[in-house]
Amino acid sequence: MLPNGGKIMLPNGGKRGKAMNILVIQGHPDSGGGHFCHALAGAYAAGAAGAGHPLRQIDVGAAAVTLLHSRAEWSGPAPGWAAEAQAAILWADHLVLVFPLWLGGMPARLKAWAEHVFREDFAFRRGASGWERHLRGRSARIVVTMGMPAPVYGLWFGAHGTAQLSRAILGFSGIGPVRETRIGMVEGLDAAAREAWLGRMGRLGAKAG
């Protein structure tokens, strides 16, 4: 459930800005739903759709993800599900990736998904004068839940797991800016705190932030 009776409060007094194509990527490896990550992604999507932004969604847990075993596999043609994800990324102006922090980083399934999708020649290529970053002109937001306090992850651990995604994958492909929403102590959040986070996601979706 969203706060305010399921209504999304639009920023700027309800005025709608320029519509952006938004791709929401659900990175929780369990596609069965019912996790807070699913609720967060749903709230963002509802806010975006309510504000008139065209929306597409990808469920990484439902994709036929396999592991890559060699550079030859990575440099080869993408499987069908990954090619569809690439097409969705090319369509998008703004990407939103939602996932839980596992052992300090992305769940293995999401990392494997990213390895398939962000392939050489699709996301970037080494040209005659250096790296060509093919996904420029897009922005992204990472929404990550974690068991530890969010400041501890940033200050003590250096947010190394999300930095891998924001810098080495998204940023290296030319996507920017990449902003992060870190939700700490997620297991201990009471109903009011969860509703507050869902409200924040809805407002971010409304402004494509």
Q: Is 186 part of any domain?
A: yes
Based on DSSP, count helices (H) and strands (E) in the chain, helices before strands. Answer: 7, 7
- Domain range enclosing 45: 19-206
Residue 17 confidence (pLDDT): 65
Residue 9 confidence (pLDDT): 37
Lowest mean pLDDT among 2-11, 86-95, 135-144: 2-11
Label the pairing between strands 22-26 and 55-59: parallel
Q: Is 97 part of any domain?
A: yes
- Residue whose pair of structure tokens reads 């309510």 in the numeric block: 50
Residue range 95-99: average pLDDT?
98
Per-residue pLDDT tens over the stretch 112-135: 999 999 998 898 888 777 778 889
**SS3 state of residue 94:** strand
pTM above 0.85, yes or no: yes
Residue 6 has pLDDT above 60, yes or no: no
Q: Is 187 part of any domain?
A: yes
Upper half-sphere CA count for residue 12 (Cβ side, 13 Å): 8
What percent of the chain is modeled with pLDDT above 70? 91
| Domain tally, the chain | 1
Burial per residue of 80-99, b for 16 or more beta-carbon CB atoms within 10 angstroms, e otherwise: ebbeebbebbeebbbbbbbb
Per-residue pLDDT tens over the stretch 152-164: 988 777 778 899 9
Q: Is 11 part of any domain?
A: no
**SS3 state of residue 55:** strand
**Both tokens of residue 106?**
């992305």
Task: Give the domain CATH number at 102.
Answer: 3.40.50.360
